[in-house]
Structure 1
Amino acid sequence: MRLLLVEDDPMIGEALLDLLRAEHYAVDWVRDGAMADTALRTQHYDVVLLDLGLPKRDGIEVLQALRARRDRTPVLVATARDAVADRVAGLDAGADDYVVKPYDTSELLARIRALVRRGAGVAEPVFSHQGVTLNPATREATLDGQPVPLSAKEWAVLEPLIARPGVVLSRAQLEEKLYGWKDDISSNAIEVYIHGLRKKLGSGFIQTVRGLGYLVPRE
């Protein structure tokens, strides 16, 4: 899953970047509101982690512009503005959730996972389909109840596919889930990870739609 981190404080930003990457998220980090607006206009993200007190353009303005474009990307506001009026303003501007600094990192990660599920239209805390179960909270995968070891990249490819059975995702869309701006992308990386997943989960679990991409078929 790919996240946009919008945070101007370098110490907080570095700490969050390390935390999120340790959880195997692909993360782009921008440090002002103008860059955030540009990123949101040109890239697709599964979740935005948005500070409000930003240089060049306030976070509320960035959020309002996003929603004015009818963009439904889940947004978690993470800010030092702790007054009730600020929380109300953030939520009314279109935020899906709001946390106040300093926050507990385990709670922050849980809120991000909840927004990922909401964005996928899934209420359950785990993704389960045709005997395969993924638990994002523990990063555990099972097949018919038996543990299946997945690499971080294999997980990143499988999660968006199993979250939306029957939906075709192109190679470019899957690459977006794996890589940030500064990452090098191998030309056949997705094919390699799909091959590995088929060996572990069964050759028919992920299907190729010629010329379009890949999908996990519906029941």
Structure 2
Amino acid sequence: MNIPSFIFCALGLTLVTLRVDAQCSSCSSCISCVVGPPDYLCPTPPTTLEVYAPHESYCTRFYKCVNGKAVEGRCPSGTFFNPVQKLCCPDESLCYRSNPCVLPVPECANCANQFVNSEMLASAFFICNCDGTGVTNQCPMAFDPCTNSTVQLVFTDGNCDPPEEITTTTTEETTTTTTEEETTTTVEETTTTTEEETTTTTEEETTTTTEEETTVEG
């Protein structure tokens, strides 16, 4: 796929790639291949990650991911959603949305695909329009309450998920702990049983044999 690189700012985040001379095209009549709430921004359930995303049209609204679905929420009167802090703040300067960057993406033509991954950034992707263009977008940051840290989601198989290495590490650590506990218990039980049986049998057989031989010689 040969898609030109670009620099653009969207939703309070900056994607930095190689600069190109061509300007992003604008298309008010483009028909998107994706309809409905942006569920693609939400990680696959079950997950403990907390994810918020700005609303595409209103700066006083936002989305919260719940069980893999983007659920719309509204800020209290007089406040605006801060896409960086994930809070509603009384700061009118937050009510700003940059124009979306639309680029030619051949894989989008006639809605052959709903999304196309960016070759430059794992968290970036294109939302396809039926005319063969794509709107640039980026996966949000997620908050992990278990580690009290943030995780940059990456676009995989049609939605934003945590990187594979994070998921794999957690699973391996849990499996190893369980296996070690079970193995230790089994070894201790086997060792105890074997020692008791061996000691009893050896002492009885040795004593009986010695007494019989001494009696015959006498």
Q: TM-score range by the shorter chain?
A: under 0.3
Query: Between Structure 1 and Structure 2, which shows a larger proportion of strand residues?
Result: 2
Query: Between Structure 1 and Structure 2, which shows a larger proportion of helix residues?
Result: 1
Larger radius of gyration: 2
TM-score by length of 2: 0.23
